[in-house]
Structure 1
Amino acid sequence: MGKASSKLSEEDIRELREKTQFSERELIEWHKGFMQDCGESGELRLDEFKRIYASFFPAGDATAFAEHVFRTFDHDEDGIIGFKEFIIGLSVTSRGHLEEKLKWAFKLYDLNDSGDITRDELLSVVQSIYAMVGRQINLGGDDSTPQRRAERIFEQMDANQDGRLSLAEFIEAARSDPSIVRLLQTDASGTQHAMPGGGAAAGGN
């Protein structure tokens, strides 16, 4: 792939200002941190992505969740996240409108990119969240296991009870019931800081 530029061009900044919610100063800071973490290639591979997540969630196992997030950021599915893919994805997850975040979350849970979410897919992601942060969050009551949480989310969202969640069902349920959004959420701030450059740039948010 070759060596990536150590600085963003003016054209890159203009493009990313249009496609993200970040200011020019923030883009430059995020790029600086990204390059520091990724080296001269300016590319982030899955193994490195998992290592970064693991360093920010040392009490749990972030492997599976990091794989799910990596998939949503790797838009061209080449196994590599470049800075543009990274910062566009981060803009959605950290500063996007509710519908943008929900569309991203839907993609996260739709493991085979089929356009709907099955119970097994939902459970797989919820299990990965519990493995990563389960000991750091309150898991009392009905959500003491990933199976219970996944089932509760699914039952609340599956409006036509066909055993699959469409994007429309997913968004409508989350809009109409804020408690569902809370059920879907992980430690969002921690996830953002786990991203490459997060330690350096997150302070600008």
Structure 2
Amino acid sequence: MSAMSKKMIQNLAETLSKQVKHFNKTETQCLIRLYNALLGDQTERKVGHGLDRGKFRNILHNTFGLTDDMIMDRVFRAFDKDNDSYISVKEWLEGLAVFLRGTLDEKIKYCFDVYDLNGDGYISREEMFHMLKNSLIRQPTEEDPDEGIKDLVEITLKKMDYDHDSRLSCDDFEKAVRDENLLLEAFGTCLPDAKSIQAFEQQAFQVTRFAGAMTHKYEQTLF
């Protein structure tokens, strides 16, 4: 995607703000500008494709503090809905809408999609093992650290597997999270914390906030 003119960004924001939840038109415009800047900063990018995996992973790591390579790859795939290995401007906005401001329902679906490594609609024992193995710190004194992870998988299944079929369906996952919200990120951090969200939004929407403050000040002088 080549650099967009101001008019193109405004027109695109007008269209996409009606299609994407949680952002108003001005915020949408700010996020499109940021996307455009990131594209311009992308090395060896192919014109017309979108944001590549490397650049997106840098954002996840440096801006939102995600550290697990497997999880970051899965987050990329959750954003990349058409699975073409690039994030389009619409995918960027739709992904951020859930990532930053999603409802519990939206976050449950997003987290489940991230954790369902092979995309078959279930989180299996093997998938849990791989994710927990990545996220846990091993003790050098442990004779077989994998045994501890296997035990943790069994404990997790006992708590979350409502239909007792030895795997988690989306329905199992949703019920478990609704009973205990802390289980939303049971298999690894795939959402930003409140501090990271606030910092990102302040930077991305600073023009929006300034404009809003000026409008409020102007309105006050009228009454």
State whether TM-score is above 0.5.
yes
In 2, Cα distance between the equivalents of 1:124 and 1:202?
Answer: 37
Q: Does 1:174 align with 2:174?
A: no
Residue 28 of structure 1 corresponds to which residue in structure 2? 29
Q: How far apart, CA to CA, are the structure 2 residues paired with 1:79 and 1:191?
A: 29
Q: Does 1:44 align with 2:45?
A: no
Q: Answer with 1 or 2: which has the greater Rg.
A: 2
Query: Judging changes above 3 Å, is the alpha-carbon distance between structure 1 residues 44 and 103 closer, same or farther for their aligned structure 2 residues?
Result: same
User: Residues 1-205 of structure 1: matches in 2 within 5 Å?
Assistant: 2-3=1-2, 5-6=4-5, 7-10=8-11, 12-39=13-40, 41=47, 43-56=50-63, 61-128=67-134, 130=135, 151-181=154-184, 183=186, 186=189, 188-189=192-193, 200-201=203-204
- Contact 1:119 / 1:150 at 8 angstroms: preserved in 2? yes
Decide whether the 8 Å contact of 1:30 with 1:198 is kept in 2: no
Structure 1 residues 31 and 47: CA distance shift in structure 2, 3 A: same
Q: Which runs of 5+ in 1 are unaligned?
A: 135-144
Q: Residues 34 and 86 of structure 1: is their aligned pair in 2 closer, same or farther, counting only changes over 3 Å?
A: same
- The percentage of counterpart residues that share the same residue type is 27
Q: Which has the higher contact order (CA 8 A, sep 6+)?
A: 1
TM-score of the two chains, using structure 1 as the length reference: 0.73
Q: Is the 8 A contact 1:149 1:183 kept in 2?
A: no
- CA RMSD in angstroms, aligned pairs only: 3.3
Moved more, 152-161 or 79-88: 152-161
Q: How many residues align?
A: 187
Q: Is the contact between residue 31 and residue 204 of structure 2 (CA under 8 Å) also seen in structure 1?
A: yes
| Superposition TM-score, scaled by structure 2 size | 0.68
